Amino acid sequence: MQPFALGHAIPADQSPVIVPYSYNVALQLNVLSDGRPAIADRAVLLATGTTTSTAGSKTHFDD
């Protein structure tokens, strides 16, 4: 059985996404093409936004 909404939802247009940074395994953080940490570029932060995980909050009272 398929949920009602899935039968009537219209997917949004998917445009190609260009990510201005990549993950550096040695540094364990996202870096720009010039080697600076991605967090150093305010424009990148504003463009990419943030996400928040609540998984820990759901399972641990002290998170």
Residue 40 forms part of a structural domain:
yes
The answer to pTM > 0.75 is no
Number of domains in the chain: 1
Residue 39 forms part of a structural domain:
yes
Determine the Cα–Cα distance for residues 13 and 60; give it in Å rounded to an integer: 38
Which pLDDT does position 52 carry in this prediction? 61
Q: Please check whether residue 47 is in contact with residue 56, taking contact to mean a CB–CB distance below 8 angstroms.
A: no
Residue 43 forms part of a structural domain:
yes
- Helices (H), strands (E): how many in the chain? 3, 2
Residue 24 forms part of a structural domain:
yes
Q: Please check whether residue 24 is in contact with residue 30, taking contact to mean a CB–CB distance below 8 angstroms.
A: yes
E-strand spans in 1-63?
Answer: 21-24, 29-32
Which pLDDT does position 59 carry in this prediction? 61
Which pLDDT does position 48 carry in this prediction? 79
Residue 23 forms part of a structural domain:
yes
Which pLDDT does position 33 carry in this prediction? 92
Residue 26 forms part of a structural domain:
yes
Residue 62 forms part of a structural domain:
no
Q: Please check whether residue 26 is in contact with residue 14, taking contact to mean a CB–CB distance below 8 angstroms.
A: no
Residue 33 forms part of a structural domain:
yes
Q: What is the pLDDT along the chain (63 residues), one digit of tens a residue?
A: 667 777 777 777 777 878 889 999 999 999 999 999 998 998 888 887 766 666 655 665 554
Domain span holding position 31: 19-48
